[in-house]
Each structure stands twice: as structure tokens, then as C-alpha cells.
């Protein structure tokens, strides 16, 4: 269990809360339909990170994951400088894993990223030319392959991450063959556990349905007023046995707004609970810290979260890292 930030071995960073994509079920939107939310669309800059993360702490971190709640690292104009600084100062033999839709920036950017030591890029490509865009809206399949190919050509290590949906499951073998021919080091599949339901375009018109059927719970078209009228519901989880992922990894999360949280899930619960957000219990809001000056300045915060697990765990902890002892089944 983490008691001091000097023990950190894993760091999860969001370099930008901006994104060039419009994936349905992302908390930035309503099944693909963009709507105003209260999250800050910002980039964290290198100076902020230097103030937040002491060099002696960074020197002990073996793995850094760059993957945000809201955005993609390609949107940060200082992305290359930040990744280079992290690489130069993290633990010897460490690794930086970057998850991206890969559909932005030019070849020069990807060539430069390939020159930075200890970087592995996960390109999230969910299908082939005729299917990838059905979930990864506003991304371009050919642009992604061009960028990934340039990254690989210049010596970068790339993994193809493929989320299996009903509409692309027949293409897995072809995509795997393509990944191998392009020089990807790995091809990894994961089954869709995000949702089955409609996909809306920018105008709020239903353009596709992900899953075996349309549950019919949402209309053919939506607008801002409709989305704002929806109130999230919350049912007690009764998951009192918490198996904390952040504790296992000895990890902490820093958002693009420069906010520290035990994990990305707890940071996500800061929002005002518009549709798509996981509600958090108000009595625990004081455990979600305001912006701080350094990881080293808040060493008491994780034990407070741990203390909550004894009687009434934080709702977010129950959802993502809890299990029901009565049924002895993992979440």
C-alpha cells in the first residue's frame, strides 16, 4: 500500500483534455453528439509537470502511461518535449506507454517521437477502412496508418490495439495480417465492454447502432436540451471488498488540468454528473484534492481513501475496483 509518493512506481498522465475524435460513450460527448460539459479543455505544459513531479520521484517511476480521461496526447503542442523530459528522468530501464487514436500531426512529429528512448505507442485502430470510423468518429484510417508507418520506419515500437465490436469482428484476422506487414510489434484485441447503443453525428442524428440490436431507449435525434434533461441514476453497488488497481501498481494520476488524483476514475468523478459520468458521493468530495504544487505535498491523501474502504467505500472505488463478497465475483 502506498503511504508516501516516494514509493510510486507507476504514473498515469493526461497531457491534454482536448481531442480530435468523437467516440461515442466518451465522457466528452453523448454517444458521439458533442455537448457543453464542465471539464477544462486544456493542455498541461512542461513547466507544470516539473513543478508537480519532483525529479527524485520521477527517478523511481518505472512505467509511465500517457492516456487521458478526455483527450489525446497529440493535441498538446509540447507533447514531444514532455515525453523527452519524462524519458530522460524516469527510472533506468523504464518505459513510456502512449495510447492514441493516431489520427493527427504530421510525419515529422511521429518520426521525432520515434527518436525518444523507451517509448511504446498503442495505436487504437478498431477495424479496417470501412469500419474503423464507426466508433472512432472523426478519425481517418489512412492517416493513422501513415503516421504509424512513419513511427515504425524511424525505429519506434508500435502496438495495434483493436476493440472488437459486432461490426468489425469479421476483420480481426485481416487486421492482424496488416499489422504484421506494416511492422507493428504486437496486435492486441479486446472485446467491447463499453456499451451497445446508438451513435449520433454532430447534428444529433442517429447514424449507427453498436451492438446486436438497438435497445430503443434513445430517440432518432437529440439536441442540447434533450441531453441536459437526462439525469444519471445511481444504484448502490454493495461492493465493499476493494481491490485497488492504483495500490497494486503503486500509481498516481495527473490530469491535463494539473490535478492529482489516486486514479483516473476518481478524477473523472469531479464532473457535475452530466450523462455518462459516474456519480461520486458528496461526502468524499473533500478527498479529491484541488490543484497542488507537487506530488510530495499530499502524502496523506491516499490513506484517507483507503480508510473509506473499511465501512463505506467511495462509490467510484466500488464501481471500478470492488467486488461483492456475497457473490465472490470480480467487477
Is this model's pTM higher than 0.75 or not? yes
pLDDT given at position 298: 53
On average, the pLDDT of the chain sits at: 85
Q: What's the mean pLDDT in 42-66?
A: 93
From the list 118, 129, 14, the residue with the least C-alpha distance to 68 is 14
Backbone torsion region of residue 182, taken as left when φ is above 0, otherwise alpha when ψ lies between -120 and 50, otherwise beta: alpha
Phi, psi of 49 (to 5 degrees): -65, -40
State yes or no: pLDDT of 280 exceeds 50. Answer: no
State yes or no: pLDDT of 38 exceeds 80. Answer: no
- The single-letter DSSP state of residue 179 is H
Give the pairing type, strands 29-30 and 10-13: unpaired
| Per-residue cell: 149 | 508507418
State yes or no: pLDDT of 282 exceeds 70. Answer: no
CA distance 317 to 322: 6
pLDDT given at position 331: 28
- Alpha-carbon distances of 107 from 144, 158, 208, 277, rounded to whole Å: 10, 15, 32, 35
More confident residue, 329 or 81: 81
Give the pairing type, strands 10-13 and 63-66: parallel
pLDDT tier, 277 (very low <50, low <70, confident <90, very high otherwise): very low
CA distance 132 to 291: 37
pLDDT given at position 301: 62
pLDDT given at position 232: 63
- Per CATH, is 9-230+246-264 categorized as 3.30.450.260? no
Phi, psi of 230 (to 5 degrees): -80, 130
Outline where the chain has alpha helix (H). 46-52, 55-58, 79-89, 107-114, 132-135, 141-153, 172-182, 224-229, 245-249, 264-268, 301-308, 315-321
pLDDT given at position 98: 98
Terminal CA-CA length for the chain: 21
| Percent of the chain surpassing pLDDT 70 | 83
Question: Which residues, in sequence order, are bridge partners of residue 190?
Answer: 163
Amino acid at each position: 500500500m502506498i503511504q508516501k509518493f516516494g514509493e510510486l512506481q507507476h504514473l498515469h498522465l493526461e497531457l491534454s483534455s482536448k481531442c480530435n475524435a468523437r467516440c461515442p460513450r466518451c465522457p466528452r460527448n453523448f454517444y458521439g453528439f458533442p455537448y457543453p460539459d464542465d471539464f477544462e479543455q486544456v493542455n498541461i505544459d512542461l513547466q507544470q509537470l516539473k513543478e508537480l513531479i519532483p525529479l527524485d520521484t520521477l527517478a523511481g517511476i518505472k512505467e509511465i502511461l500517457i492516456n487521458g480521461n478526455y483527450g489525446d496526447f497529440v493535441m498538446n503542442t509540447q507533447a514531444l518535449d514532455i515525453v523527452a523530459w519524462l524519458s530522460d528522468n524516469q527510472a533506468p530501464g523504464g518505459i513510456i506507454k502512449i495510447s492514441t487514436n493516431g489520427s493527427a500531426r504530421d510525419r515529422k512529429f511521429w518520426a521525432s517521437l520515434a527518436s525518444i528512448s523507451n517509448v511504446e505507442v498503442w495505436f487504437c485502430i478498431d477495424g479496417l477502412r470501412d469500419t474503423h470510423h464507426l466508433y472512432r468518429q472523426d478519425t481517418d484510417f489512412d492517416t493513422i496508418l501513415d503516421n504509424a508507418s512513419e513511427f515504425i520506419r524511424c525505429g519506434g515500437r508500435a502496438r495495434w490495439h483493436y476493440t472488437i465490436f459486432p461490426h468489425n469482428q469479421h476483420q480481426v484476422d485481416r487486421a492482424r495480417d496488416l499489422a504484421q506487414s506494416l511492422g507493428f510489434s504486437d496486435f492486441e484485441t479486446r472485446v467491447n465492454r463499453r456499451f451497445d447503443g446508438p451513435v449520433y453525428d454532430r447534428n444529433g442524428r442517429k447514424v449507427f447502432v453498436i451492438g446486436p440490436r438497438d435497445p430503443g431507449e434513445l430517440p432518432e435525434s437529440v439536441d442540447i436540451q434533450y441531453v441536459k434533461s437526462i439525469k444519471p441514476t445511481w444504484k448502490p453497488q454493495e461492493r465493499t471488498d476493494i481491490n485497488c488497481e492504483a495500490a497494486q501498481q503503486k500509481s498516481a494520476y495527473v490530469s491535463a488540468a494539473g490535478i492529482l488524483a489516486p486514479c483516473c476514475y476518481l478524477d473523472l468523478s469531479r464532473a457535475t454528473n452530466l450523462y455518462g459520468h459516474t456519480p461520486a458521493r458528496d461526502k468524499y468530495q473533500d478527498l479529491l484534492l484541488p490543484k497542488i504544487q507537487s506530488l510530495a505535498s499530499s502524502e496523506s491523501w491516499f490513506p484517507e481513501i483507503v480508510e473509506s474502504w473499511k465501512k463505506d467505500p467511495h462509490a467510484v472505488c466500488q464501481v471500478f475496483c470492488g467486488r461483492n463478497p456475497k457473490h465472490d465475483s470480480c467487477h
